[in-house]
Amino acid sequence: MTHRYQDWPSPCRNLLMTAFAAVIAAIFVYLVLLQPKWKILQETRDDFTRTEKKLKESPWPRDSERLQTMLANYQKIIGNNKQSGLKNYSDEILKQATSLFNDKINNEYGNAALFINKASQIEYKDQYDRMHSTFQNQKLYLDQFIFGMDESTVEPDKFKMLLKVWTAEKLVSLALEHQLKICEDRTVKTGSHNQYYAAKISVLPERSYLLDEKDKAPYLLEFPVRLTVRGSMENFLAFTAAMQSAPVFLPMIQMEMLTDTSPASRVSDEEGNMYFNQLEVTVVCSSFYRPTTEQSKAYRKQSLPILPPGA
């Protein structure tokens, strides 16, 4: 005979309700507390298994004491603010590579931060006019089409315009100092009456290097200049050596070399062998500038492309 729930004794009904409540509570505890913990445990075990597998496959020892010893040795090699090492060496090299115009900046502006803040269009025009006049005295005639800049050039960061002019001046000065002739572009004439052939001197767009995509200011600026020269191999080699002789740092990043095969360029060595000693070489050389932390506060750009090493 079946008994209805209402006919059950009160203690039995209470016991059944308590059992139902206990089951519901257990399910709730499992879903809210135990299941997330169990999931975290499983993920932790999986991570541990993957890490353990990597450690087994890696050449590194699994002995913590040996690892601590190795870490101390590597930290000693890398160095820090108090101890010399690769980090200090790297900082020193970068400092030397970006200090070409430091004396000029300090003499004319007082310090690098003022240089970035105070460089103006008027100063750029003055520097450009001086360079233009100096080049003309050396029978070198600039054409904006080739050179890529003129006295009316305007861009937001005036200090970069000055660095471009100084880089071109320094490179041309070194070439002439080593008896190299600056070549002319026979397809382009310049001057007030188009009476001169334009010199093959070009200022290329600067390159900005970032450490992180979120950076608003570059940690390094590169200013490349293209120059075509003619001369002997001996003089050209002396020129290339001078470009990386302290305090000058204008490394060559591109080069194209042609040999003059005309009879006038033929030379005989001691054994009577003939060779061509006159070369026409187009080089792209760069100066580098590194804004410091203080300078970077004055120099902000909304977005800059990240360039790979050697780009």
Phi, psi torsion values for 208, nearest 5 degrees = -115, 130
C-beta atoms surrounding 203 within 10 Å: 20
User: Of the ranges 77-81, 97-101, 110-114, 239-243, which one carries the lowest mean pLDDT score?
Assistant: 77-81
Q: Which two tokens stand for residue 144?
A: 């904006």
Label residue 225 left, alpha or beta by phi (over 0 means left) and psi (-120 to 50 means alpha): beta
Express each pLDDT in 276-308 by its tens digit. 678 899 999 999 998 865 554 545 443 344 444
Express each pLDDT in 8-63 by its tens digit. 677 777 777 788 788 888 777 777 777 777 788 888 888 888 888 887 788 777 77
> Taking a C-beta distance cutoff of 8 angstroms, is the pair 124, 153 a contact?
yes
CATH number of 95-298: 3.30.70.60
**Identity of the residue numbered 30:** Y
Q: Which two tokens stand for residue 171?
A: 């490179």
Work out the end-to-end distance of the chain between its first and last CA atoms, rounded to an integer number of angstroms.
Answer: 93
What is the distance between the alpha carbons of residues 142 and 205, in angstroms, rounded to a whole number? 17
- The set of residues, in sequence order, having a beta carbon less than 8 Å from that of 220 and lying 6+ positions away, is 94, 98, 208, 209, 288, 289, 290
What is the distance between the alpha carbons of residues 71 and 65, in angstroms, rounded to a whole number? 10
**Identity of the residue numbered 239:** F
In the chain, the percentage of residues whose pLDDT exceeds 90 is: 36
Domain ranges for the chain, please list them. 20-48, 95-298
Express each pLDDT in 142-181 by its tens digit. 998 899 988 888 888 899 999 999 999 999 999 999 999 9
Angle between the 86-97 and 64-78 helix axes, to the nearest 10 degrees? Answer: 20
Q: Is the peptide bond before 305 cis (omega within 30 degrees of 0)?
A: no
- In three-state form (DSSP H/G/I as H, E/B as E, the rest C), the secondary structure along 214-231 is CCCCCCEEEEEEEEEEEE
pTM of this structure: 0.68
